Structure formats: C-alpha cells, structure tokens
C-alpha cells in the first residue's frame, strides 16, 4: 500500500518522508520539479501540482493513504478542497491532515479559516482522518535569526499569553506514526484530532530570556505591536501574506497558543520520548552560527 505525501519538500514534509521510509512504508511524493527534489532511495516521485487535475489523479493511482500539507497561498482553500475531492474520487479515505492549533477559533486569519474548512470536509464526507493541529513552528524562527544574532532583539510579536512552539521533527514523527497506523488498519478508524505543541508555553519575554542565556548577552523582546513585523515581512513576501502574518501575530497576542490539559503527556506517549524544546533549538542554532562565524 502506498502513502502519498503532499507538501513533501518543506520543513515538515521532508521529515515526514524520512520517518515513513525509516518505518518501511512505501512512499510517493507529489512535486512540481522532480529535478530539484531530493528524497531517500525508493521514494516514488510524481510530477504535478494541486490545481493540475490530471496530474493529481495520476498521483493518487494506487494510493491507500494521504498526508496533506498545504502551503500558505492565495488559493490554499481551493487546493485543499480539490485535493480531498480527488482523493475521495480515487477511493482514498485514509488521511492525515496538517491543520493548525485554534483553527476553529481564529476565524479572521485566512490560513486558519482555510484549515477549519478542510477539517469540516474531512469530518462530513466520510474520511477516516487524523487532524493534526500544530502550534507555531519553532523552525520558523530561522527567518528571524539574523535579527536576534546581529541586533539583540527577538522580533516576533507573540505577546504575553504564551505560545507552545513545536519542533518540525515532532510534528513529522507524529504524522508518520498516524499515517502508518491508519494505512495498516484492517478497516476505517475513527476520526481524531491531535494538538501538536512544545513542552513549554513561552511568552515573548520568555523567549528573549532564553536567547539571552544561550548567547551570553542581552536579547530584548521587541514588543507586541505587529505593525513593524508586518512591514518587515513585506520586504521578502507578498504584501497580502505579510498582512496575514500580522493577523496571526495579533491572535498570538490576544489568545496565545496554549495546550489543552494532557496534550504534552499524550504526545510524549505517542513518541516514546520527550518533546524537543525551544531552548534546544536556540542552542543548536547558536552553535551553528558560531561554527560559521
């Protein structure tokens, strides 16, 4: 039985592929440009994109289970719904879908609302699905490392409620475990939602303090005002996306991304090990910076 991984080249998807291969799964990936795609030996590569219907149909041929990770794009909702329709048309009902924590509450943030809509489709149209709801990705901090290292400022306006940032490796390993569990089940399994969080719920000031300790020099929190964050994001991404990131940051400040009771314990049990922490990430990134200095 073949597991199709959509979104296989990003921070999470490439780890999902690696984890599946390590567990002996037969894996196929969908990618626009196979010549630039580097995957472990034995991984099947299907060329295409999510709005290319014939390529999508071909990619689903012989597939038993789907991992769906949609990038944040202007047509993300169309991509998600078309993909799930083609999966259903192809007889694929076993799905692991990467959503986002608080998808059903942060209704004014476009990519949260998109994922909430895809969740409803999975729930209402007979899929056998695990919906993974990750918090903010620790790995996203790579985008702001130069500001931290060179200016001594932690610029992400995550606020004072707390965000339980999660490592991409933990997301991917849980996804692989769920994909294999559903793929190898003798029949349809009940739908379930798993919150993916880190071991610590951190405020902006908490994160700045971690960086100060790791680097051995003061790092200040840049504050909760998202306007400067939006302007900075707009220098290297489309303005509509920078505005969407601002809306997301406003939600961090107003609501946080806080685990539910038992989330960390549940994830630790699934993985059979502790979750990766923000401090571990900061220490690793600082070591890499020192090695290249």
Predicted confidence (pLDDT) per residue in 133-169, tens digit: 999 999 999 989 999 999 999 999 999 999 999 999 9
- Cβ neighbours around 229 below 10 Å, total: 23
Tell me the average pLDDT across 3-7.
Answer: 97
* Distance of alpha carbon 39 from alpha carbon 50, whole angstroms: 20
Count Cα atoms within 13 angstroms, Cβ side, for 14: 7
**Tokens at 2, concatenated:** 């073949």
DSSP string spanning 223-254?
-S--HHHHHHHTTTS-HHHHHHHHHHHHHHHH
Query: Could you tell me which residues are beta bridge partners of residue 5?
Result: 29, 67
Tell me the average pLDDT across 264-280.
Answer: 98
Domain boundaries, the chain: 2-137+166-196
Count Cα atoms within 13 angstroms, Cβ side, for 212: 11
Fold of 2-137+166-196: Rossmann fold (3.40.50)
* Distance of alpha carbon 168 from alpha carbon 104, whole angstroms: 22
Starting at the edge strand that comes first in sequence, how are the strands of the sheet with 26-31 ordered? 44-47, 26-31, 2-6, 63-68, 94-98, 128-134, 192-196
When pLDDT is cut at 50, 70 and 90, the band that residue 293 belongs to is low
- From 85, 74, 60, select the one nearest 6 (Cα to Cα): 60
- pLDDT reported for residue 233: 87
Count Cα atoms within 13 angstroms, Cβ side, for 174: 30
Predicted confidence (pLDDT) per residue in 34-87, tens digit: 888 889 999 999 999 999 999 999 999 999 999 999 988 999 999 999 999 999
Whether the predicted model's global pTM rises above the 0.85 cut? yes
- Cβ neighbours around 228 below 10 Å, total: 13
Tell me the average pLDDT across 243-253.
Answer: 93
């Amino acid at each position: 039985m073949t597991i199709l991984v959509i979104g296989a080249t990003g921070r999470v998807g490439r780890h999902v592929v690696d984890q599946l291969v390590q567990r002996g799964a037969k894996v196929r990936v969908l990618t626009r440009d196979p010549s630039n795609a580097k995957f472990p030996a034995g991984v099947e590569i299907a060329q295409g994109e999510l709005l290319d219907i014939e390529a999508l149909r071909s990619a689903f041929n012989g597939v038993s289970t789907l991992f769906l990770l949609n990038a944040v794009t202007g047509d993300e909702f169309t991509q998600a719904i078309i993909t799930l329709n083609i999966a259903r048309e192809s007889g694929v009902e076993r799905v692991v879908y990467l959503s986002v924590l608080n998808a059903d509450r942060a209704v004014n943030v476009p990519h949260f609302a998109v994922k909430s809509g895809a969740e409803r489709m999975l729930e209402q149209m007979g899929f056998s699905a695990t919906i993974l709801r990750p918090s903010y990705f620790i790995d996203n901090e790579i985008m702001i490392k130069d500001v931290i290292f060179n200016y001594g400022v932690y610029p992400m306006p995550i606020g004072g409620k707390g965000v339980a940032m999660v490592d991409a490796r933990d997301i991917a390993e849980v996804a692989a475990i769920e994909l294999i569990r559903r793929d190898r089940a003798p029949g349809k399994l009940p739908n379930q939602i798993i919150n993916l969080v880190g071991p610590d719920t951190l405020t902006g000031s908490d994160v700045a303090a971690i960086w100060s300790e790791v680097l051995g020099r003061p790092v200040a929190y840049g504050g909760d005002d998202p306007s400067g964050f939006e302007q900075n994001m707009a220098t290297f991404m489309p303005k509509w996306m920078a505005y969407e990131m601002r809306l997301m940051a406003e939600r961090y400040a107003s609501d946080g991304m806080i685990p539910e009771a038992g989330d960390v314990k549940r994830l630790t049990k699934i993985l059979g090990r502790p979750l990766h922490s923000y401090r571990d990430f900061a220490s690793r990134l600082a070591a890499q910076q020192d090695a290249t200095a």
